[in-house]
Amino acid sequence: MNIGWIGTGIMGAAIAEHLQAAGHALHLCTRTRAKAEQLLAGGAAWCPDPAEVARATEVVFTIVGYPAEVEAVYFGAHGIFSAEKSTATLLVDLTSSPPALARRISAAATARGLAALDAPVTGGDVGAREGTLSIMVGGNADAFERALPLLRLMGRNIERVGGPGAGQQAKVVNQILIAGTMVGLCEALLVAARAGLDQTQLIRLLGAGAAGSWALQRLGPRLARGDQAPGFMVDHFLKDLEIALHEAEALGLKLPGVELARTLYEKARALGHGRSGTQALILALEALNPQR
Amino acid sequence: MNIGWIGTGIMGAAIAEHLQAAGHALHLCTRTRAKAEQLLAGGAAWCPDPAEVARATEVVFTIVGYPAEVEAVYFGAHGIFSAEKSTATLLVDLTSSPPALARRISAAATARGLAALDAPVTGGDVGAREGTLSIMVGGNADAFERALPLLRLMGRNIERVGGPGAGQQAKVVNQILIAGTMVGLCEALLVAARAGLDQTQLIRLLGAGAAGSWALQRLGPRLARGDQAPGFMVDHFLKDLEIALHEAEALGLKLPGVELARTLYEKARALGHGRSGTQALILALEALNPQR
């Protein structure tokens, strides 16, 4: 199938390769062409802009960074919706992006006789490479069924969670879960360190019980050895926390835990750790609590 | 072996039964005799006070509620340390209690030629009944080796984590992990509910990924059906959070996440949910965010 691909960052490039490996013909555009070299070498066609991608393909996937980029890709002067004689009839946004924007894209698609899905992913760069992402999909059921064979090349747990925007709302729920867990994890390991306990022992011992979590198991060891390398970056998580707080506000909800996480992650970014992993939250706590 | 047992609440009674089932002769005292009936029917001897328990046994286990009770059991007028002609030479406190108090008990024991261990547990009433608790032990290595065969009748993951008080510090670390996770869990499921998403679907879908935790898996379903029944009670968790904040202060640490959890759990208690499960945190968030 001729498939459009917009966005070849760490996640995007890794996911697109699964489609290419399955024999699909990719037509791609991305901000930094160098990041698409491997896909181009594998036979993908280069397009100058999203509109051109939409004119060359049946299905278009997008996975970019911030909401403003999503907006530009869909609604910009050379965006997907600007395309005359578009051949693409199904648009799937894999970016984590505001639910309201997803609903706006869906409405614009419907107005043009197209279908759109919001389909944010979780599982990080490892999940993208290994094809084990979880994908939360919002949109109508027919469009979901059409996208499913392609989504199955990318991830393992793929479910439609509701209508337009619901996939993004599910991702918001996911990031709120992670925000609370990260605050607890970093506070806990800071106490362990200052108390002179063996963090590695505690991660193993406590991880087997009611305190256990994916974050403790995967990021705990990085914290124990002072490794700030990203699985998932502070800058991107901060974007997601902003989306979560906006969505909460739209629902009439005040979320003090997410607000606290945002404050701490902003501090971590101000300390120069925007491109560190989310475990760098501990550096904000350390700054708040200088060693005596 | 003649074993002393002080405290037969839900946890204490369930754990003591494993010792009795293994053929040990229990000598017990507890505040509410009715709660010991099953153990007494099983052959345990009743003692009027902790001092009497210490005069009748080789090893004494204590598992009571609040720090003031631990203090009374060890240092009170008829406490363990008041016993003339004590035969008990090893004292093991299973209560979750302040690290500083554990160190004070250990020092008092040493001054009398006895050994003491702090050995708080995790795993709740289910773990207590099934003998699958995790036990974090502080104290000297010889005393730990002596206690180990008995602790193995109670739990599955049993490790010495350091000297006197270290077991309690490890428990503090455990409760801090849980505090953050619970704030995230309740905020996330509140958003899911207000957004009209299917909480049960999200618990399954998101639980498989980076947002996964024991709490999401075990308490998520209770939250989804509005079930506030305790695995672990708000009142007890609030006690643990107070201990955690005191210990953090002693270490020179300010922990905004634990402070937030305390504020929310105090609110849940004020709403009449002190004896509900820790998932009742969501009621504090709902009170903060009345439905429009």
Contacting B residues, span 30-59, partner chain A, CB-CB under 8 Å: none
Establish if A214 touches chain B: CB-CB under 8 angstroms. yes
Partner residue opposite A159 with nearest CB, options B174, B183, B205: B205
The per-residue pLDDT for A290 is 85
Q: Given B134, B197, B208, which is nearest A170 (Cβ)? A: B197
For residue range B106-139, list pLDDT tens digits in order. Answer: 999 999 999 999 999 998 888 999 999 999 999 9
Model pLDDT for residues B43-73, shown as the tens digit of each residue: 999 999 999 999 999 999 999 999 999 999 9
Query: How close does chain B come to A162, measured CA to CA in Å?
Result: 7
Contact B257 A253 (CB under 8 A): no
Distant-in-sequence, close-in-space partners of A145: CB < 8 Å, separation ≥ 6: none
> Contact, B167 vs B117, CB < 8 A?
yes
- pLDDT averaged over every residue in chain A: 96
Q: How confident is the model at residue B291 (pLDDT cuts 50, 70, 90)?
A: confident
* Chain A residues with CB-CB distance to B178 below 8 A: 184, 210-211
The answer to whether A258 faces chain B, any CB pair under 8 Å, is yes
**pLDDT the model gives residue A10:** 86
Confidence grade of residue A102 (pLDDT, cut at 50, 70, 90)? very high
In the annotation, is A171 catalytic?
Answer: yes
Q: What is the mean pLDDT of residues A204-233?
A: 95
- Is B136 in the A-facing interface, judged by CB distances under 8 Å? yes
* Nearest residue, CB atoms, B187 vs list A169, A176, A218: A176
Q: Which of B131, B119, B124, B127 is nearest to B161 (CA)?
A: B119
* A134 contact residues in B (CB cutoff 8 A): 205-206, 208-209
Element (H, E) at A158: strand A155-162
Of B170, B182, B184, which has the smallest distance from its Cβ to A197's Cβ? B170
State the Cα–Cα distance between residues A262 and B150, nearest whole angstrom.
46
Which residues pair with residue A158 across a beta bridge? A135
Q: In chain B, positions 237-256, which contact chain A (CB-CB < 8 Å)?
A: 244, 247-248, 251-256
Domains annotated on chain A, with CATH: 2-163 (3.40.50.720), 169-288 (1.10.1040.10)
Helices and strands per DSSP (H, E), number in chain A: 13, 9
Say if residues B94 and B139 touch (Cβ distance below 8 Å). no
| Residue-averaged pLDDT of chain B | 96
- Interface contact B123-A218, CB threshold 8 A: no
Instruction: Give me the helix-helix angle, A166-194 and A214-224, nearest 10°.
Output: 40
Q: Which of B177, B202, B216, B266 best tests the A interface by mutation, with the highest count of A CBs <10 A?
A: B177
- Joined together, the tokens standing for residue B187 give 């905020």
Alpha carbon distance B65, A96 (integer Å) = 46
Checking if the pLDDT of B246 tops 80, the result is yes
| Active-site position among A35, A171, A239, A267 | A171
In B82-162, which ranges are continuous DSSP H helix?
Answer: 99-111, 124-130, 141-151
Q: What angle do CA A250, A270, B254 make, to 5 degrees?
A: 85
When pLDDT is cut at 50, 70 and 90, the band that residue A173 belongs to is very high
Which burial class, exposed, middle or buried, applies to A249 when counting CB atoms under 10 A from its CB (0-12, 13-18, 19+)? exposed
* Cα separations in angstroms, B246 against A25, A189, B144: 61, 16, 26
Neighbours of A111 (CB within 10 A): 9
Cα distances (Å, whole numbers) of residue A182 to A107, A121, A187, A206, B200: 36, 19, 8, 15, 23
User: CA-to-CA distance for A232 and A216, rounded, in angstroms?
Assistant: 15
Residues of chain B with Cβ-Cβ distance to A123 below 8 Å are 209-210
